[in-house]
Structure 1
Amino acid sequence: MKNILLLITLACLNLNSYSQDYSKLKDYEFSGDKIFKKSESQVLECTNYLLSNPTNKDELNRLNSMQFIMKWMEGTPDYTFNIGKKAMDLTKGNSDLLGLYLAAMTKTVLDNTNSKLNDDDIHENAKKLLVDYCSNPNNNIKPSKTIKKILKKKSKT
Structure 2
Amino acid sequence: MKKLLLLLVLSFSTLSVFAQEVPNYSAVSLAAKEDYAKAEGTVLKAADYLISTPFDKKNPDRLRAMQFILKWMEGTPDFTFQIDETPVKISDGNSDLLGLYLACATKYCIENRSMAKDAKAVKLNTLKTLVTYSTNPTYKVKQTGELKKVIKASEKGELEQYVG
Name 1:126's counterpart in structure 2.
Answer: 126
**Aligned match of 2:112:** 112
Q: Matched residues in 1 for 2:13 and 2:151: separation?
A: 41
- Long gaps (5+) in structure 2: 1-7, 158-164
Corresponding position of 2:72: 72
Q: Map Cα deviations across residues 72-129 of structure 1 (whole Å, 9 max, x no partner).
A: 0000000011222122122222111100000011011011023353222211111111
Tell whether the 8 Å contact from 1:26 to 1:64 is kept in structure 2 after alignment. Answer: no
Structure-2-length-normalised TM-score: 0.77
Q: Which has the higher contact order (CA 8 A, sep 6+)?
A: 1
Task: Report matched runs for 1:1-157 at 5 Å.
Answer: 19-22=19-22, 24-26=24-26, 28-56=28-56, 59-155=59-155
Rate the CA distance shift 1:58–1:46 in 2: closer, same or farther, 3 A: farther
Amino acid at match of 1:142: K
CA RMSD of aligned residues (A): 2.8
Quote the offset at 1:51 in angstroms: 0.6
Q: Are the counterparts in 1 of residues 29 and 35 from structure 2 also a CA contact under 8 Å? A: no
How far, CA to CA, are the matches of 1:121 and 1:56 in structure 2? 29
